[in-house]
Amino acid sequence: MNMAKGFSGVMGVKRVAGICRILVRHGFGNFFDWLGGFGAAVTKRPLDMVGKAATGFPSPERIRRIFEELGPSFIKLGQLMSTRADIFPASYIEELRKLQDQVPAVPFSEIQQVIEEELKKPVPSIFRECHAESIAAASVSQVHAARLFTGEKVAVKVIRPGIRKIIEQDIRLMYSLSGIIEKNFELGKVVGATNIVKEFERTIFNELDMFIEAGNIDRFGKNFKDSDEIHIPQVYWDLTSKSVLVMEFIDGIKMDQVETLRAAGIDPQKIALIGLRSFSRQLMEFGFFHADPHPANTIVMTANCVGIVDFGIMGFLDDDMMRHVAHLLLGFAERDYDMVMEALEDAGILRQDMANLQEFKADLKDVSEPFYGRSLKTISVRDVYDQVMQLVLKYRIKLPRNLLLLFKTLIQTEALGKILESNASLLEISRPFAKKFLEKRYDPQSLFTEMAKDIREMGSQLKTTPKWLHEILKQTAAGKQRLELHHSGFSSMDARLEKGINRLTIGIVIAASTIAASLILNSSQKVLEFSFHFMGQQTLSITGILGLAGYTIATLLGIWLIYSIFRSGKM
């Protein structure tokens, strides 16, 4: 769905008016001066706002408060922005992380109406009982406990009524505002305001579709079907629709309730290891990870089993990105910065032609070295993340969205580990999983799979190439295109090729001379022997002279060849 077409209608105008009142109340007194598209002239001067930061942009705290008052859409947008430390300053990232997606629950009568409209049945005929009080309420959805007629306890997650329309209106407004910001403010161009809104649109509409979350749960459950440590809720597909998701109710203790865990005889550090192993498998085995592992979504069921809920935000890594991440994890775990640099270059994050590549490597090493050999208790992944992001900003590096989501998940995973007082090292836990993934890529089955994939791609290219070539030639013949062929560098290539062939020829001559000389000198047959007086009576033959000459030629040519190679610096 693309909402980048502006907005209209009575509801749209009311929403704009409400947003304007909030902005004016927070010191955006000249809001209408720069809000082009609503009838006011757009000025080219910086925003003149109360409480603006030294950069000419509103202070981080003011931005957070505005987002909280603007409601669900802007809270979600702020949460997305808090993951983009590659483009926003650290002070804004830290403040936006405080945005809480908690709102008062919608009355059960409205939730019941949604359930009945979606499932085409009255609630009493679907559930033996359904609790009117919600057990969780967020800006997009809320959850109620219920029990089926077959006896199973279930969690019923329902999209809040009317929220889709509000979000659609807000996204249209966001597109209008982002266009104005990019047009009039340099900062808007730098951060790519419109692209942020596009990313938000994709994310929020995925959260509004319960079929997507149900599919995520189903896939996750299949990935961990062989695990006794991780429990994924069962989805009741016959009771699931676009706005309603019915799944198994996971009962237990929230992971951050450490004292309650200890009282139940559960070792918090063991639970932390289960979480770290699970996360490592998600990254290095499946390429599909839970990207919101906060305490409310991680429930300790027994001393040896953890349940995971809320699969609205997921991260995906394709095979290539999994390989890059595996090399990054191994590189950092083994202090192999060459491996780290190669992984970053292969991922397209760094370029070989960067003038300051060695400077970046030195900075990266300076950031990483102080953290080696330390446990989660003494390392702040957030500190590491912030320092790496400073490098990203310094060298103007663009990071893929899923890699940023992975960094954000690492921070949350580290936070859980600290809550559970874990001594484990995330790098040490993930190292064997990364090694196993890389080793698996070289087994015969994987190699054949890769070969088959390459052959399919090659076949597709061979199939389409004649068509494109014909089209190019056709347009060229019609005068619509012009082909110009330029060649350069062939003369130097010819010289290098000739030099290489000459060296190879000399090498062959040296080898032949040495072999021939050895055969002649070791031969029992002598030709034209003659005697002479030199420190006594001496005997010499023509064959001996030829052998000595061969050794001499081979030695001189060998010395010259070695010297020329060393001189060229091409050893």
* pLDDT tens digits, one per residue of 482-534: 666 655 555 555 566 666 676 677 777 667 767 766 666 666 666 566 565 55
- What is the reported pLDDT for 39? 39
What pLDDT band is residue 52 in, cutting at 50, 70 and 90?
A: very low
CA distance 420 to 262: 11
The DSSP code for 131 is -
Q: What is the mean pLDDT of residues 214-220?
A: 95
Q: How far is CA 472 from CA 460, 463, 479, 484, 551, in A?
A: 18, 16, 11, 13, 61
Token look-up 């982002």 returns 178
Least reliable range by pLDDT among 17-21, 158-162, 258-262: 17-21
Continuous H helices in 371-443: 381-394, 401-419, 426-440
Q: Is the dihedral of CA 60, 64, 70, 76 positive or negative?
A: positive
Q: Looking at per-residue confidence, does 195 or 271 come out higher?
A: 271
Q: How far apart are CA 268 and CA 385, in angstroms?
A: 25
Distance of CA 344 to the CA centre of its chain: 11
Can you identify the CATH homologous superfamily of domain 107-160+209-249? Phosphorylase Kinase; domain 1 (3.30.200.20)
Is 292 part of the annotated catalytic residue set? yes
Catalytic residue among 86, 170, 292, 310: 292
Q: Angle CA(239)–CA(240)–CA(241) in degrees, nearest 5?
A: 130
Question: Which range among 264-268, 432-436, 544-548 has the greatest average pLDDT?
Answer: 264-268
DSSP 3-state of 319: helix
Rg of the chain in Å (alpha carbons): 35
Q: Cβ contacts of residue 433 below 8 Å, gap of 6+?
A: 280, 281, 283, 284, 285
Quick check: 528 and 541 in contact, CB under 8 A?
Answer: yes
> For position 124, what pLDDT does the model report?
95
Q: Is residue 58's pLDDT more than 80?
A: no
Largest Cα separation within the chain, whole Å, is 127
- The pLDDT of residue 46 is 39
Strand partners, 147: 129, 153
Separation of first and last alpha carbons in the chain: 58
pLDDT at 470: 74
Whole-number pLDDT of residue 140: 87
Lowest mean per-residue pLDDT among 127-136, 148-157, 313-322, 523-532: 523-532
Q: Is 485 exposed, middle or buried (0-12, 13-18, 19+ CB in 10 A)?
A: exposed
pLDDT value for 71: 77
- Give 141's strand partners: 159
Q: How far is Cα of residue 499 from the mean position of the Cα atoms in its chain?
A: 46
Lowest mean pLDDT among 134-143, 514-523, 550-559: 514-523
Task: Kindly state the average pLDDT of the residues 248-255.
Answer: 92
Highest mean pLDDT among 89-93, 188-192, 243-247: 243-247
Contact 551, 514 (CB under 8 A): yes
Element (H, E) at 21: helix 10-25
Q: Which of 24-33, 349-358, 417-426, 429-438 has the highest mean pLDDT?
A: 429-438
Query: What is the rounded distance in angstroms from the CA atom of residue 214 to the CA atom of residue 312?
Result: 9
User: Over 60: is that where the pLDDT of 44 sits?
Assistant: no
The stretches of 208-267 forming alpha helices (DSSP H) are 210-223, 258-263
Name the residue with higher pLDDT: 456 or 423. Answer: 423
Q: What is the pLDDT of residue 569?
A: 54
pLDDT of residue 48: 38
Q: What is the pLDDT, as a whole number, of residue 187? A: 60
- Length of the chain equals 571
For residue 212, pLDDT over 60 is answered with yes
CB 345 within 8 A of CB 339: no
User: d(Cα 184, Cα 179) in Å, to the nearest integer?
Assistant: 9
- Distance CA(478)–CA(480), nearest Å, equals 6
| 159-173, 316-330, 344-358, range with the lowest pLDDT | 344-358
The pLDDT value recorded for residue 322 is 86
pLDDT confidence tier of residue 188, bands split at 50, 70 and 90: low
Residue 53 has pLDDT above 50, yes or no: no
Q: Which helix (H) or strand (E) holds 254?
A: strand 253-254
Alpha carbons 55 and 46: distance in angstroms, whole number:
10
- Please give the average per-residue pLDDT across 32-50, as a whole number: 41
Which of 43-57, 443-457, 545-559 is predicted with the least confidence, judged by mean pLDDT? 43-57
Return d(Cα 336, Cα 73) in angstroms, integer: 43
Q: Is the pLDDT of residue 431 over 50?
A: yes
User: CB neighbours of 504 closer than 8 A, spacing ≥ 6?
Assistant: none
What is the spatial distance between Cα 416 and Cα 277, in angstroms, rounded to a whole number?
13
